[in-house]
Every structure is written in structure tokens, then in C-alpha cells.
A and B are shown apart, each in its own frame.
Chain A
Amino acid sequence: MKRIYMDNNATTAVRPEVMEAMLPFYKEHFGNPSSVHWAGRETGAALEAAREKVAKLINCAPAEVVFTSCGSEGDNLAIKGVADAYRDRGNHIITTAVEHPAVLNSCKYLEKHGFEVTYLPVDGHGMLDVSSLEAAITDKTILISVMWANNETGTLFPIEKIGAVARKHKICFHTDAVQAIGRVPVDVDAAQVDLLAISGHKIGAPKGVGALYVRKGVRLTPLVHGGHQERNRRAGTHNLPGIVGLGVACELADADLRNTAQRLSAMRDRLEQGLLAAIPESQVNGHPTMRLPNTLNISFNYIEGEAVLLFLDMQGIAASSGSACMSDLEGQSHVIDAMGVDPMMANSAIRFGLGYDNTEADVDQVLEILPNIVKKLRDMSPFYHERDAAKATANS
């Protein structure tokens, strides 16, 4: 059985070039970059080279890159760090209802400590209305945190417009760009972003490394106190192999962003159209055009998503229902829920996240297998058998 991995929004394989670049930093070049001796100097140079590569991908100065352990740490550092540093100016934060738990739970934590948070709604495509964002600003607002792309649906938010609003009102703007990096162009200057979180393992670097862009002049209270690493913004000995890997992954992403995006979106579109054509009463969740090139979130009415995933898994296909971080919890995805999707449709949502390693043959395989799975489950579903009666009542 050929195994197919289509869950690249959850995590990606480490790219071979990244692996290659990292290996010497485990044994040959193991020095602590904070040390003054030859061993430290050697790795110190590699650390700064990686910083430059990350900076180049998002168009900022290397000094504005803070290495972290993951995207969640970046989001936490940005939100709690700004909240603490700007407390003298106000206690109001604006975010959206569809953020990653790293953002939502950071905001909930701050609410317990005297901050007020506005969670903006989204429309049926998961899209945010910028004018309602602007309307939510008060003279106490110190931070706007809006993700670049949604992890579950791939919907892309109008980051440049939000950046312009934030700049106009002189409010810090943080964006969780974990899903966007390496998939769409990300330019912190053009978007007028002040803080931006990156995660290594979503772009072919290993798990356990990430970065936070912090615009020069933005005040930030660190989460991790200790040594002077990262200009006092994040203490702790550097995960040097991981950081080197992140640098190479950013370099690769920069070099082939357009080609990869085109290739993935062509495959994704074929998968999407094939499934919609083969499976009646199915629907795509997310924005029709403003969407990540690799992401497809699709629902098949009358059946339940976990059952679909299990059948896919038994045939070697790895996909996900909603966010991987939520899969052991009961109930619906907060993202699909916020979009107002009909609950039965929402319950069957399956996410495919295509990546570098996927091929046309993978898409063919899913197109061959999935319609049969849906048929088998619908044959078991009481709702499916009653749907004609249900439709008749609805129409009468």
C-alpha cells in the first residue's frame, strides 16, 4: 500500500537539504554561540547566517528576528510581551474568533489579568471585515493580532489592509504567519506588520524551532528570562542545529515559492473539483479565491469526519479533521463553527494540506478512494436515508 501524506498544515517532513545542513552542528560544530572561544565563534557565525536567511524571506533586518522554539512560543511572546510592555497605554486587544489556540489561549490568559479582548467574527468564507476591525478600536487598544492564513481552511486575511489600519491608529500589529510562510509571499514591510510568528516544522525545518519578527522600536517583555541571548528578548541556549535548519528552509522557500505554489494549487484544485464532481452534497469550507495554495477543507453531508479519516488512514492516506491540536477534543472546530457552517456539514469537514512531496498520483489515489468511503458511510447514516423526507418537510 502506498502511503500518502496530505497533512502538511499539521507538520511537514524535514527537507533533505535542511537535514544535510543541520548534521554538522550536532557533533563537529557544537559550540555555544554565546561563547567567546573558537567553538562559539564558529557557531555564532552560523547563527547569524541563519538569521539573515529568515530576514530575507520576510523582508526585514536580521536584528529584527528573534529565534524561538515554535510558532506557539512566538505568538505567546508577541501577545503577552506587547500586552505587558504597553500596559501603560491601555488594556484592549483585538483578535479574531478563528485564530490558532496559541493566540486565543494567550488572549484568554490576558483576560484573566485585566485585559479586554474583542474577538471579531468572520463570514461564511472565513473572511474578516476590515471596517468592523477598525470600528472595534478604542483609545485603550494596544494590540491587533490577526493570522495571515487560517490553518484549517487556508483563508487568507487582508493583512496589508489590516496593517494600514493598525499603522493609522498607531497600534501594534501581530500576525501568526505560521501557515503562510513558504506558501504565499510574506513581506513585513509591505504589510506594515510589527510582529510575525514563524514555525520551522511547517516549512520543511525540524520541530522545535521558530522565529518571531519584532519590528525595530517595538517594546516587548520577554517570556523566558535568563541570559542575554536574542538581545534580551528570549533567553536560553540556542537550538543551533534547528536554527540552521530553519535558515535553510527559509532560503529554499524563498527560491521556489512561486513554482511550489503553482504546482500545489494546480493539484489542490484538481482534488477539489474531482471530489465535488464525484460526491454530491459536498462543500468546500473557506474562501473560494483568497486561500492558501495547498489547503482544501471539504465537507460531505450526512456523515462524520472522524469515520472518514479512519477509512482514509486504513488505505494509507493521512489527512486531518480540523486542527491537529484539537483532534483529541470533542466537538466541532471553532473555525468552521465561527463561519456559521451548517452543523452536519461542519461535523464532516476534512482537511487536506498538500506539500512538496505530493504528486499527481497521490491526488488520483485520493480521488479513487474517497468517493467510495463517503458512499459506504452514507449508506450507514440515518440522516442520509431520511434526507428526502427531510427535504420535503423543509420545502413544504
Chain B
Amino acid sequence: MYSDKVIDHFTNPRNVGEIENADGVGEKVSSSCGDRMKVFLKVENDIIEDVKFQTYGCGAAIASSSMMSELVIGKTLQQALDLTNDQVADALGGLPAPKLHCSNLAADALHEAIKNYQETNA
């Protein structure tokens, strides 16, 4: 039911963890299943230097968090803000329909973290 990419990111998730004194922290709870994702950012000169995440959720949610982190490290804040939920799912080689909402967590939690960074550094 899951693509090889999903299984790969689920089995070996990249960038799991927490950044001490993160520049931005954001989180998102899925309204449909209660699963939860937390994102930590390190930002320098408008560039995302590092992303770490913690996820409580299904295989698709964990794989989406991992993929999201890979997609935005080294990108500008604006590029990260432009990342959509669909792009995360596409990068994973697609998700089964009932699991599409899981990928929503990833981009949304990331955007929350960026918002938090921008508010504290305004």
C-alpha cells in the first residue's frame, strides 16, 4: 500500500530529534486522527540551516516529516513557506487516498515553525 520511498523514509527517518535553543518551533495536530508533529528550525540569513522533527503518528506521517525535512534544509524561508502538502506527498511517490491527510501535518507544522521564527525575530 505504501511506495518504496515512504517505506524508506519511515524505516530510516532523516532529521529526527530536537534542536536545543531552536530559532523557531511549530507544531500541528491532525483534526481527523489526533496525530501530532513538532518541527524545530535553525535559521541563518534567511536560510534554513537545519530542521529536526518529532512525530506521533502513522507510517505516512513519519515518512512525510522526514521528506519535508529533506526538502527544506538549505532553502530560503520563502521557499519553505511555498512548500505545499501535495509536494511532500508527491516527493514520497504518492500516498494512498486515506493517508493524504498525514502529509498535511508536515508542511503545516513547518509553516507554524517559520511563523514562530518570524514573530520572535520581528
Please give the residue numbers on chain A whose beta carbons come within 8 Å of chain B beta carbons, in ascending order: 302-304, 306-307, 310-311, 314, 328-331, 343, 347, 379-383, 385
Q: Which of B7, B38, B54, B98 contacts A328 (CB 8 A)?
A: B98
Query: How far does the alpha carbon of A302 sit from the alpha carbon of B18 in the complex, in Å?
Result: 17
Is there contact, CB below 8 Å, between A330 and B16? Answer: no
Smallest beta-carbon distance A25→chain B, Å: 36
Is there contact, CB below 8 Å, between A381 and B10? Answer: no
Query: How far does the alpha carbon of A380 sit from the alpha carbon of B27 in the complex, in Å?
Result: 14
Find the residue from B7, B27, B57, B61 having the highest chain A CB count within 10 A.
B57
Interface size class of chain B, counting residues whose CB lies under 8 Å from the partner chain: 20 to 34
Q: Which residues of A contact B59 (CB under 8 A)?
A: 306-307, 310
Q: Which residues of A contact B3 (CB under 8 A)?
A: none
Is there contact, CB below 8 Å, between B33 and A331? Answer: yes
Q: Which of B27, B34, B62, B98 contacts A382 (CB 8 A)?
A: B27
Query: How far does the alpha carbon of A330 sit from the alpha carbon of B30 in the complex, in Å?
Result: 12
The interface bits of chain B over 6-23 (1 if a CB of A lies within 8 angstroms of the residue's CB, else 0) are 010011010010100000
Q: Which residues of A contact B33 (CB under 8 A)?
A: 330-331
B120 within 8 A of A: no
Smallest beta-carbon distance B56→chain A, Å: 5
Is there contact, CB below 8 Å, between A314 and B54? Answer: no
Interface majority SS (helix, strand, loop, mixed), chain B:
mixed
Query: How far does the alpha carbon of A343 sit from the alpha carbon of B56 in the complex, in Å?
Result: 13
Smallest beta-carbon distance A169→chain B, Å: 42
A-B contact pairs, 8 of them (CB 8 A): A307-B10, A307-B57, A307-B62, A314-B7, A331-B32, A331-B33, A380-B13, A380-B56
Q: Which residues of A contact B37 (CB under 8 A)?
A: 382
Q: Which 3 pairs show the lowest CB-CB distances between chains A and B? A: A382-B54, A306-B58, A382-B38
Is there contact, CB below 8 Å, between B11 and A314? Answer: yes
Is there contact, CB below 8 Å, between B16 and A382? Answer: no
The answer to whether residues A302 and B34 also contact, given A380-B16, A382-B27, A385-B18 and a CB cut-off of 8 A, is no
Query: How far does the alpha carbon of A385 sit from the alpha carbon of B52 in the complex, in Å?
Result: 14
The interface bits of chain B over 68-111 (1 if a CB of A lies within 8 angstroms of the residue's CB, else 0) are 00000000000000000000000000000010000000000000
Who on chain B is nearest to A379 by CB? B16
Is there contact, CB below 8 Å, between B36 and A310? Answer: no
Q: Which residues of A contact B13 (CB under 8 A)?
A: 380
Is there contact, CB below 8 Å, between A383 and B16? Answer: no
Is there contact, CB below 8 Å, between A382 and B56? Answer: yes
Q: Which residues of A contact B2 (CB under 8 A)?
A: 310
B55 within 8 A of A: yes
Q: Which residues of A contact B35 (CB under 8 A)?
A: 304
Query: How far does the alpha carbon of A351 sit from the alpha carbon of B105 in the complex, in Å?
Result: 27
Query: How far does the alpha carbon of A332 sit from the alpha carbon of B32 in the complex, in Å?
Result: 11
Q: Which residues of A contact B34 (CB under 8 A)?
A: 343, 347
Q: Which residues of B contact A302 (CB under 8 A)?
A: 56
Find the residue from A328, A329, A347 having the highest chain B CB count within 10 A.
A347
Smallest beta-carbon distance B34→chain A, Å: 7
Q: Which of A307, A314, A329, A383 contacts B58 (CB 8 A)?
A: A307
Q: Which residues of A contact B61 (CB under 8 A)?
A: 304
Query: How far does the alpha carbon of A311 sit from the alpha carbon of B10 in the complex, in Å?
Result: 9
Q: Which residues of B contact A343 (CB under 8 A)?
A: 34
Q: Which of A304, A310, A381 contacts B54 (CB 8 A)?
A: A381
Query: How far does the alpha carbon of A302 sit from the alpha carbon of B35 in the complex, in Å?
Result: 11
Q: Which residues of B contact A331 (CB under 8 A)?
A: 32-33
Query: How far does the alpha carbon of A303 sit from the alpha carbon of B58 in the complex, in Å?
Result: 9
Instruction: Give residues of chain B (30-51) contacting chain A, Cβ–Cβ below 8 Å.
Output: 32-38
